[in-house]
């Protein structure tokens, strides 16, 4: 957990009435006049005054780009940083210059949670994705146009969108649900009950049509796991989630981290990629993926190598399209690390 507890999250929406940007200076900060607008903050509605907004981080902008790409819709809004409420770290879909010809749609988010969540791995990363996807969903579904603010049916639609996006971007159903599990139990005038929200997320996740990997798909792939005491439980969970029956080998390096995958050309790259992403999402930093030195080797080894320092990023793992040679500049031993 980062400095912001998950409990403080809320997917919120602002009514768009009276949102005006009063200063549009050349520098990155911009004063948004949100007076008269009502923001929903999980359990309660709050009224906002003037809010400074700032340029969004590259993580947030690239994630929003991926969200729109996943549904094939043009990004019809801008993303900016703003403290949308005093005490709650969250995000909001708003319209500036509402009701005028200059009206523009914005997703505002709190920079603190992006730094803590989008830069972490596992459930926390996916909670950040789900929250931003929820707000993008409001704009892409045209929810902000009526100036009416949050209503339960709109919230459920945005929740379902968030579940769909997490699935499309490679998250599990549980990772899609994680953000919503601490949400208020009871329904309010503006927000649905937690149980309804969880259903909406699960339906969205299912609608993405991501095939569940079955044990049979892995049955013909030999997976060897050199188990470490340090992170063995996490790797075991990944193997079980993917339905992999691995051959376990005791590791001589009990205190090392699992950080490397050895592959062979005859194993489908989709399997190697799925395993690497699942390990990454469980907080295992994979530093290299390359072919076994022995040409006769067939299968996948999950193990440890000592010469790299940093893990490969999720987007680099997503681009894995073959079992790379050991000399590969990105996945192999000889790479300038970012």
Residues at the site binding Zn ion, with contacts judged by CB under 5 A: 11, 13, 155, 158
| Residue 1: half-sphere exposure toward Cβ, Cα within 13 Å | 9
Which residue, 13 or 261, is less far from Zn ion as judged by CB?
A: 13
Residue nearest Zn ion, Cβ-based: 13
Which residue, 15 or 175, is less far from Zn ion as judged by CB?
A: 15
| Burial call 29-39: b when 16+ CB within 10 Å, e when fewer | ebbbbbeebbb
Contact 97, 71 (CB under 8 A): no
Cβ neighbours, 10 Å, residue 77: 20
CB of 135 to Zn ion, least distance (A): 7
Strand order, beta sheet including 11-13: 11-13, 91-96, 104-109, 78-82, 50-55, 30-33, 20-21
Which residue, 176 or 271, is less far from Zn ion as judged by CB?
A: 176
Beta-carbon contacts of residue 337 (< 8 Å; ≥ 6 apart): 308, 309, 310
Which residue, 160 or 259, is less far from Zn ion as judged by CB?
A: 160
CB of 138 to Zn ion, least distance (A): 6
Which residue, 136 or 276, is less far from Zn ion as judged by CB?
A: 136
CB of 305 to Zn ion, least distance (A): 44
Q: Give strand pairing partners of 303.
A: 260
CB of 5 to Zn ion, least distance (A): 20
CB of 320 to Zn ion, least distance (A): 35
Q: Is 225 helix (H, G, I), strand (E, B) or coil?
A: strand
């Amino acid at each position: 957990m980062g400095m912001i507890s998950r409990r403080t999250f809320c997917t919120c929406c602002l009514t768009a009435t009276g949102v005006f940007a009063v200063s549009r200076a050349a520098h990155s900060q911009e004063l948004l006049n949100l007076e008269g607008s009502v923001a929903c903050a999980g359990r309660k509605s709050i009224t906002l005054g003037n809010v400074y907004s700032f340029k969004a981080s590259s993580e947030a902008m690239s994630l929003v780009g991926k969200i729109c790409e996943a549904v094939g819709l043009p990004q019809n809004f801008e993303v900016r940083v703003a403290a949308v409420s005093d005490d709650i770290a969250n995000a909001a879909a708003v319209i500036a210059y509402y009701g005028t010809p200059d009206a523009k749609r914005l997703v505002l988010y709190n920079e603190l949670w992006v730094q803590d969540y989008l830069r972490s791995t596992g459930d926390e990363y996916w909670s950040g994705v789900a929250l931003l996807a929820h707000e993008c969903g409001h704009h892409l579904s045209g929810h902000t146009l009526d100036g009416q603010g949050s209503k339960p049916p709109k919230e459920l639609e945005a929740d379902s969108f968030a579940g769909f996006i997490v699935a499309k971007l490679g998250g599990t159903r549980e990772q899609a649900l994680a953000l919503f599990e601490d949400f208020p139990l009871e329904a309010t005038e503006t927000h649905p009950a937690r149980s309804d929200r969880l259903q909406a997320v699960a339906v969205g996740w299912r609608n993405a049509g991501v095939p569940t990997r079955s044990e049979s798909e892995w049955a013909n792939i030999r997976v060897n796991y050199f188990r470490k005491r340090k992170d063995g439980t996490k790797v075991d969970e990944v193997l079980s989630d993917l339905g992999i029956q691995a051959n376990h080998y005791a590791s001589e390096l009990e205190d090392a981290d699992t950080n490397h995958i050895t592959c062979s050309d005859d194993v489908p790259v989709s399997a190697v990629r799925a395993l690497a992403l699942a390990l990454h999402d469980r907080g295992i930093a994979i530093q290299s993926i390359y072919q076994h030195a022995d040409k006769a080797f067939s299968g996948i080894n999950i193990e440890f190598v000592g010469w790299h320092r940093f893990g490969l990023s999720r987007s680099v793992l997503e681009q894995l399209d073959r079992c790379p040679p050991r000399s590969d500049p990105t996945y192999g031993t000889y790479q300038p690390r970012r």
